[in-house]
Structure 1
Amino acid sequence: MTFDAGRSTTEPEARMGVAEQRARMLAGRWYDDLTPELVAAREAAVHRTDAYNASFGRPAAEREALLAELLGRVGEGVHFEPVFRCEFGSGIEIGNGFYANFDCVMVDGGGITIGDDVLFGPRVGIYTTNHALDPAQRAAGACLAERVVVEDGVWIGGGATLNPGVRIGRGSVIGSGSVVTRSIPPGCLAAGVPARVLRPITADDRIDEGWREA
């Protein structure tokens, strides 16, 4: 694909359907973010997230059905507080028992995989896409995407950002306000800008079993 200042010059690629363009994204190839098909797909995601956000307080089954229409795969017991936004929705796969607090944003061009029993604080953002550094190519829509993976049992603190290509290992915790630019291994507490591993999470972090009786 070649780019000029403003638009792609490759007409056959501009006529690719959304599925073909999504395959290009997931393969880690440069793509034109400004094709009419992708613009329309993002607009459709806005309308679907509007419908989901407006359903807050309605029966869980009804809300989960709306998520099933929006996301690529969704397990049981998945809940987003309002307001949830995503780029396409079809690139997001979520397991069971997921909870996201207010104002979650997922830019899912490169794909987002979330495991079971994952917790997001308020204003967590996952961004799978990078724009070109060259200003003319950036204006023409040149983008490159990489999958983000959040494994089972992870807690992402409020205001944290996950950048393209990172993996958060099973059971790890990301401190609030962190910017994750590199993958975090399992069972760790990580925080900072950029985020770094502070220490492992151990049995000493378990609280007294009587906490439920407090």
Structure 2
Amino acid sequence: MPTEKEKMLSGETYIPWDEELTADRDRAEVLQNELNEAKTREAQKKAAQRLFGHFGKNSHLRPNFRCDYGYNIFIGDDVDINYDCTFLDVGKVTIGDRTLFGPGVHIYSVNHPLDPEERRKAPVEYGKNVSIGHDVWIGGRVTICPGVSIGNGVTVGAGSLVTKDVPDNVLVVGSPAKIVKSFNKKE
């Protein structure tokens, strides 16, 4: 029978409060505190490499960063994550190279049953992966919902709510985010 962690990692419904997952979240909190309180970039980099599944070269992160586990977050090279970002990583969160995050960006890869009867039965949740391509700029206070994939070369306007997949090379804005401009070059 699979453990709750194995269920979480495979995207199945799981109970988050078992001993192993609680210990993993406690570990992540300690590492986040190290990361957020680091006095040098080198100390920050070492904490990030221990927290994340991958932390690319020349990537930077400003305080106060928060996540659930850390090990489900994969950050490419030359990524800049601004102040007060939260990446809830029950599902995998993958961020491509040269991606920029404004302050206060929230990424949610966790979901709960919509039916209140299901929520009353047990404290369950499930992950839905979030993927962000290369050369993306996510403006300040953007929220990215579970299961969303954002293509390469995308700009997401500040304050947007991204609820659906976004194709390559577009500008999206609003709540919910909608395409307002394409950056595709004519052949």
TM tier, smaller: over 0.9
Partner of 2:92: 111
Contact 2:34/2:44, CA 8 A, preserved across alignment: no
Unmatched runs of 5 consecutive residues or more in structure 1:
1-11, 204-214
Unaligned segments of structure 2, at least 5 residues: none
- Deviations, residues 95-125 of structure 1 (Å, cap 9, x unaligned): 1001111101000011100010000000000
Q: What code does the residue aligned with 1:37 have? A: E
The yes-or-no answer on 1:87 pairing with 2:72 is no
Structure-1 residue corresponding to 2:168: 186
* Match in the other structure for 2:59: 78
Match for residue 46 of structure 1 among 29, 50, 63: 29
Report the equivalent of 1:158: 140
The corresponding residue for 1:24 is 7
TM-score with structure 1 length normalisation? 0.81
Aligned partners of 1:26 and 1:147 also within 8 Å: no
Q: Which has the larger radius of gyration?
A: 1
Structure 2 contact 145–163 (Cα < 8 Å) conserved: yes
Contact 2:160 2:174 in 1 (8 A): yes
Distance 1:100 1:164 in 2: 19
> Does residue 168 of the first structure (1) align with residue 120 of the second (2)?
no
TM-score, normalised to structure 2, is 0.92
1:149 maps onto 2:131 in alignment = yes
Assess if the C-alpha contact under 8 Å between 2:142 and 2:156 holds in 1: yes
SS for the counterpart of 2:17 is coil
> Following the alignment from structure 1 to structure 2, what is the Cα–Cα distance between the partners of residues 144 and 38?
13
Q: What is the aligned-residue identity percentage?
A: 37
Q: Determine the C-alpha separation between the residues in 1 that align with 2:72 and 2:64.
A: 19
Alpha-carbon distance, 1:39 to partner: 2.0
- Give the alignment of 1:119-158 within 5 angstroms: 119-139=100-120, 140-158=122-140
Q: Which amino acid aligns with 2:66?
A: R
The secondary structure found in structure 2 opposite 1:66 is helix
How many positions carry a matched residue from both structures?
Answer: 184
Shift of 1:174: 0.5
Q: Determine if contact 1:26/1:146 at 8 Å carries over to the other structure.
A: no
Whole-angstrom CA distance in 1 between matches of 2:83 and 2:123: 30
Q: Please say which of residues 88-97 and 34-43 is displaced more in the overlay.
A: 34-43
Letter in 2 for 1:103: D
| Deviation of the 1:134 alpha carbon | 3.2
